[in-house]
Chains A and B, each alone.
Chain A
């Protein structure tokens, strides 16, 4: 893939993230105001210092005025970005490019989603006028194809597969219990997870991420200016985004055990960041654990485990908070829910917090041990037809 990347050209100098949850008392406007204020405060800048804005939301508003109206932004460019579940990451990616291009000095990427106001269970995606023939599958049903396919391909017994899925949910809830910003801040016993009522295929309620409201924002500047704002900036090493040809559902050779889009975007990101061995080089990863089998497959697609072995690594605790490569140390979508536009930036918030050693009781040991890079990953769509985003950020500029 022919992307040049912008390694170490821009840096994050401030981040904000609201608590995620059922915010019956806070509107989209409130969440945007709270996240942007925290980010501005974190970078030590005022709203007037921001030259341009990228707003990610899938369904909580249209146009840049969704942001400029509540914040009273004074005639500045605000770009509204939508790219399914990678919406927040897309706002961040495009904001970074604007700074790298030299067009602006200081920009904000902000994501928001207010999902709970709809009153519906699960995610509701608006669609243009249609002929009624498209699949009506819900997201859990679409992702539920992964589990039996993976189990069959690698000879995992269905009950053992359920244990693997349970272990992923258990781990992420355990991490989320340590995070004051998470929607769910309680450890969940494995037995409760494993026996939860079925939603789709083998997926129980606890195999699915929640539905919540939230917002997160980042302030981005040129790398050479970063130390004017903070002693500990986080540099952007790689930004990769792939939109798949969506051929999985029509291609008999697609076997529902991988996201081709993730493989491609990860390869691209590692090339941009100069990473040869992601498992060894990364301090941590925030990945799109929308459903537990998704996280399992991602461990292989992102190169954290050999094909067919991620399930063993999961059971062995490789991706636990204390493991070799902590995955979703903040609790992931499992603990935060998935306010679409906000999730990608929420992941960056955790990278920022961990790489700066500010994560308190959930601080991962790998940072103190000298690892300086973290990965975030989002995907939107479903197996065989999705968009995928991978970023790598780091606390040190490369030599």
Chain B
């Protein structure tokens, strides 16, 4: 097959959920029912994008190497400095592969993915959505990242059409630096969106020579929930084909949301099925996909968790005060310890394979040195090493401790000494873990995190988390 399409995808839902009833429990009102996903204190849209991208690339299979990374979010970790380069580096892509951000609006994610889909490129959408305490955006937002690898090698879904309807109107907006968005009266947005949806859906179907009844799965995604709910009826689509948009279980993940729902559909779609993705964001974008015969074999070999598996394996007992602390709305007393100093750019550039890709060195005897070393510990040989990437290698906890004195946004720090399968010992922090449940011998996997931020510089590095075992995420309790 020579058509470019999706050859692999990976969704990343953070470990934590906030039970929306916890909001009313603290504030007396608001919140509603269900759960929203919550990026941990050590995550941002870039680190989550790395996690999703690692999964997508693993799912795409051995040898997949994109010509470029396209990254989109409404909550970028950096302005001026490109965030996609961090993803690029964490994946260990060659320097000639491009790295581009498309940031700001939800609609940018649609565009970034569309561009990535024109060639052998990687598209990543990632978002952390919240709002002022007690507001609808806080309760209804969600945090997630999704990455899609595009290419010509046995795509599992190909695009068969699409259309856009653009309009300038101010329904939702946010001034750069503000912690929350603002929204116009709800009825206004609904009436602005629905005609645009009708226009774009009709144009897309016509262009692809399809009838509404040809659609097997309809995904409607938009931060304007009421408008999104009205789309199927306004466009004459069969309500039975409209898929669960996951907002009850994870909330709306902004720029990443439509891709999260698409990933969920691809997790279960049969071959030859048609999927419509309708995104409401300052107008409407419609993309039409058809799954191929390759999807069955892909599902067989894929070793990354599905969206539903991640929804099932989670911690729902996050208390609201911690959520507010993590999102910066509650300033807690820090320990009487100095804040770490900022990572310096020159050493960071020198060690970037290690810092971003967890690349160590292996000597001639096979001994793995972490961090990378020029002199072999065992033989004393100098510069007789080869690089070895550990980011995707599972490991076992050799020992661990709970550090109640160390600086952390979410104390206590759990520190572990881990031994990688095939060699290499590494001391690191653990995350997404219950301190009381950690045991020597637990299996862990590496995860890319933001350790801390000083002077606006984000210190990204790797931590260990309980390994995903079989088809569910482990909880760190295995002995």
Residues of A within 8 A of B (CB): 118-122, 124, 127, 129-133, 135-138, 140-141, 144-145, 148-149, 152, 198-201, 245, 247, 249-252, 254, 256
Residues of B within 8 A of A (CB): 335-338, 340-344, 346-348, 350-351, 354-355, 369-371, 377, 398-399, 401-407, 413, 415, 417, 419, 423-429, 440, 451, 459-461
30 pairs across A/B with beta carbons < 8 Å? A120-B338, A121-B336, A124-B337, A130-B341, A130-B344, A130-B347, A131-B347, A131-B354, A132-B340, A132-B451, A133-B351, A135-B415, A135-B428, A136-B429, A136-B451, A137-B401, A140-B405, A144-B403, A145-B399, A145-B417, A198-B402, A198-B404, A200-B403, A201-B401, A249-B417, A250-B370, A250-B377, A250-B426, A252-B398, A252-B425
Q: Which of B336, B337, B461 contacts A132 (CB 8 A)?
A: B461
A-B CB pair tally, cutoff 8 Å = 111
Q: Cα distance A122–B407 when bound, in Å?
A: 12
Question: If A250-B377, A252-B425 touch, does A141 touch B355 (CB 8 Å cutoff)?
Answer: no
Please indicate the chain B residues that have their CB under 8 angstroms from the CB of A132 in the complex. Answer: 340, 342-343, 348, 355, 451, 459-461
Q: How far is the CB of A197 from chain B (nearest CB, A)?
A: 8
Q: Are B406 and A136 in contact (CB under 8 A)?
A: yes
Q: How far is the CB of B325 from chain A (nearest CB, A)?
A: 19
Q: Are A122 and B405 in contact (CB under 8 A)?
A: yes
Q: How far is the CB of A123 from chain B (nearest CB, A)?
A: 10
Q: Are A131 and B405 in contact (CB under 8 A)?
A: no
For residue A251, which residue of chain B has the nearest CB? B425
Question: If A200-B402, A201-B401, A249-B417 touch, does A122 touch B337 (CB 8 Å cutoff)?
Answer: yes
Q: Are B406 and A138 in contact (CB under 8 A)?
A: yes
Of residues B346, B350, B401, B402, which shows the largest number of chain A Cβ atoms within 10 Å of its Cβ? B401
Q: Are A141 and B401 in contact (CB under 8 A)?
A: yes
Q: Cα distance A9–B371 when bound, in Å?
A: 44
Please indicate the chain B residues that have their CB under 8 angstroms from the CB of A200 in the complex. Answer: 401-405
For residue B415, which residue of chain A has the nearest CB? A137
Question: If A120-B336, A249-B417 touch, does A144 touch B401 (CB 8 Å cutoff)?
Answer: yes
Please indicate the chain B residues that have their CB under 8 angstroms from the CB of A149 in the complex. Answer: 399
Please indicate the chain A residues that have their CB under 8 angstroms from the CB of B460 in the complex. Answer: 132
Q: Are B427 and A249 in contact (CB under 8 A)?
A: yes
Question: If A245-B377, A249-B427 touch, does A133 touch B399 (CB 8 Å cutoff)?
Answer: no
Q: How far is the CB of B366 from chain A (nearest CB, A)?
A: 12
Q: Cα distance A75–B304 when bound, in Å?
A: 70
For residue B349, which residue of chain A has the nearest CB? A131
Q: Are B347 and A129 in contact (CB under 8 A)?
A: yes
Q: How far is the CB of A381 from chain B (nearest CB, A)?
A: 13
Q: Are B341 and A127 in contact (CB under 8 A)?
A: yes
Of residues A118, A121, A200, which shows the largest number of chain B Cβ atoms within 10 Å of its Cβ? A200
Question: If A127-B341, A144-B401 touch, does A119 touch B377 (CB 8 Å cutoff)?
Answer: no
Q: Cα distance A144–B399 when bound, in Å?
A: 10
Please name the 4 residue pairs, one residue from A and one from B, whose CB atoms are nearest each other, closest first. Answer: A132-B343, A141-B403, A129-B344, A201-B401
Q: Are B405 and A138 in contact (CB under 8 A)?
A: yes
Q: Cα distance A200–B398 when bound, in Å?
A: 17
Please indicate the chain A residues that have their CB under 8 angstroms from the CB of B341 in the complex. Answer: 127, 130
Q: How far is the CB of A311 from chain B (nearest CB, A)?
A: 18
Q: Which of A121, A198, A247, A252 contacts B337 (CB 8 A)?
A: A121
Q: Cα distance A38–B335 when bound, in Å?
A: 38
Q: How far is the CB of B408 from chain A (nearest CB, A)?
A: 9
Q: Cα distance A140–B405 when bound, in Å?
A: 8
Q: Cα distance A127–B341 when bound, in Å?
A: 9
Please indicate the chain B residues that have their CB under 8 angstroms from the CB of A144 in the complex. Answer: 401, 403
Of residues B354, B423, B427, which shows the largest number of chain A Cβ atoms within 10 Å of its Cβ? B427
Question: If A132-B459, A132-B461, A138-B406 touch, does A251 touch B343 (CB 8 Å cutoff)?
Answer: no
Question: If A120-B338, A131-B351, A131-B355 touch, does A140 touch B346 (CB 8 Å cutoff)?
Answer: no
Please indicate the chain A residues that have their CB under 8 angstroms from the CB of B350 in the complex. Answer: 131
Q: Are B340 and A136 in contact (CB under 8 A)?
A: yes
Q: Are A133 and B355 in contact (CB under 8 A)?
A: yes
Q: Cα distance A350–B173 when bound, in Å?
A: 71
Q: Cα distance A124–B406 when bound, in Å?
A: 11
For residue B380, which residue of chain A has the nearest CB? A245
Please indicate the chain B residues that have their CB under 8 angstroms from the CB of A119 in the complex. Answer: 336
Please indicate the chain A residues that have their CB under 8 angstroms from the CB of B425 in the complex. Answer: 249-252, 254
Q: Which of A133, A199, A245, A247 contacts B405 (CB 8 A)?
A: A199
For residue B405, which residue of chain A has the nearest CB? A138
Please indicate the chain B residues that have their CB under 8 angstroms from the CB of A136 in the complex. Answer: 340, 406-407, 413, 429, 451
Please indicate the chain A residues that have their CB under 8 angstroms from the CB of B428 in the complex. Answer: 135
Q: Are B405 and A130 in contact (CB under 8 A)?
A: no
Q: Cα distance A129–B343 when bound, in Å?
A: 7
Apart from A135-B415, A140-B405, A141-B403, 17 more pairs, CB < 8 Å: A129-B346, A129-B347, A136-B340, A136-B429, A138-B403, A138-B405, A141-B401, A141-B402, A141-B405, A144-B403, A145-B417, A148-B399, A247-B377, A249-B427, A250-B370, A250-B425, A252-B423
Please indicate the chain B residues that have their CB under 8 angstroms from the CB of A198 in the complex. Answer: 402, 404
Q: Cα distance A144–B413 when bound, in Å?
A: 13
Q: How far is the CB of A355 from chain B (nearest CB, A)?
A: 37
For residue B360, which residue of chain A has the nearest CB? A250
Q: Are A199 and B344 in contact (CB under 8 A)?
A: no
Q: Cα distance A211–B382 when bound, in Å?
A: 41
Please indicate the chain B residues that have their CB under 8 angstroms from the CB of A129 in the complex. Answer: 344, 346-347
Please indicate the chain B residues that have their CB under 8 angstroms from the CB of A141 in the complex. Answer: 401-403, 405-406, 413, 415
Q: Cα distance A144–B355 when bound, in Å?
A: 26
Please indicate the chain A residues that have their CB under 8 angstroms from the CB of B440 in the complex. Answer: 148, 152
Q: How far is the CB of B57 from chain A (nearest CB, A)?
A: 23
Q: Are A135 and B427 in contact (CB under 8 A)?
A: yes
Please indicate the chain B residues that have their CB under 8 angstroms from the CB of A256 in the complex. Answer: 399
Q: Cα distance A251–B369 when bound, in Å?
A: 8
Q: Cα distance A152–B402 when bound, in Å?
A: 18
For residue A118, which residue of chain B has the nearest CB? B338
Q: Are A199 and B343 in contact (CB under 8 A)?
A: no
Q: Cα distance A148–B400 when bound, in Å?
A: 9
Q: Cα distance A348–B404 when bound, in Å?
A: 34
Please indicate the chain A residues that have their CB under 8 angstroms from the CB of B369 in the complex. Answer: 250
